[in-house]
């Protein structure tokens, strides 16, 4: 089945105004939200509007079970909002559970080099989106420290630096930060020997 067929088969419709009190949370939703995250979500909805519809099951055995959007519903309730846009699907239990996980799983990882490039994302922008200041500072400090170590390696031994960069590419399956930390640690261990 191709994507278009899957969508046509599963999607039962779009409703721009559904009473959220009629919706039921997935009985085993694996995602949670802190109070800080809820406040940030409310702030985002207030600023940009409700830009991502809820996903709700219309299967007779799972009628009105929320598959995607649990945190948005909580934010809307706190805001006093009664209705929200919904995409209805009709899925049996296993595909419903799978979609519930998939909607939260594939969020990607941060590209610290881009995120911390002030020409692209000025610090005040990161602060405006309520990025926790302590996390932001740790991330900035870690990135600056790693850049400094790489610059030091590059100036001391350009051939080794080239080797590090080549070896780093396959390691990027985790995160850039983790890969660089591992390489710098390997280098520092080798330097001691």
The model's pTM: 0.60
Judged against a pLDDT cut of 70, whether residue 90 lies above it is answered with yes
Mean of per-residue pLDDT scores for the chain: 77
4 vs 158: which has the higher pLDDT: 158
Query: What are the residue boundaries of the structural domains of the chain, listed by start?
Result: 3-105, 112-192
pLDDT of residue 173: 45
Average pLDDT over residues 12-21: 81
**So what's the pLDDT on residue 139?**
76
pLDDT of residue 142: 78
15 Rama sector, left if φ>0, alpha if ψ -120 to 50, beta otherwise? beta
Q: What fold, for 3-105?
A: 3.90.1530
Are the C-beta atoms of 30 and 101 separated by less than 8 Å?
yes
């Amino acid at each position: 089945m191709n994507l278009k067929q899957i969508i046509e088969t599963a999607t039962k419709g779009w409703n721009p105004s559904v009473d959220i009190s009629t919706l039921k949370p997935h009985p085993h939703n694996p995602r949670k939200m802190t109070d800080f995250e809820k406040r940030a979500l409310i702030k985002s909805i207030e600023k940009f509007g409700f830009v991502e519809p809820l996903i709700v099951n219309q299967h007779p055995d799972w009628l009105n079970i929320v598959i995607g959007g649990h945190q948005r519903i909580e934010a809307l309730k706190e805001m006093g909002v009664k209705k929200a846009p919904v995409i209805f699907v009709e899925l049996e239990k296993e595909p419903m559970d799978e979609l519930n996980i998939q909607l939260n799983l594939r969020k990607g990882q941060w590209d610290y080099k881009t995120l911390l490039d002030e020409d692209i994302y000025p610090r005040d922008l990161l602060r405006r989106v309520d990025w926790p200041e302590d996390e932001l500072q740790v991330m900035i400090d870690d990135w600056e420290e790693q850049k400094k170590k790489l610059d030091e390696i590059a100036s001391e031994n350009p051939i080794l630096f080239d080797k590090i960069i080549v070896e780093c590419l396959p390691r990027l399956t985790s995160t850039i930060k983790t890969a660089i930390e591992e390489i710098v640690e390997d280098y520092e261990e080798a330097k001691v020997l």
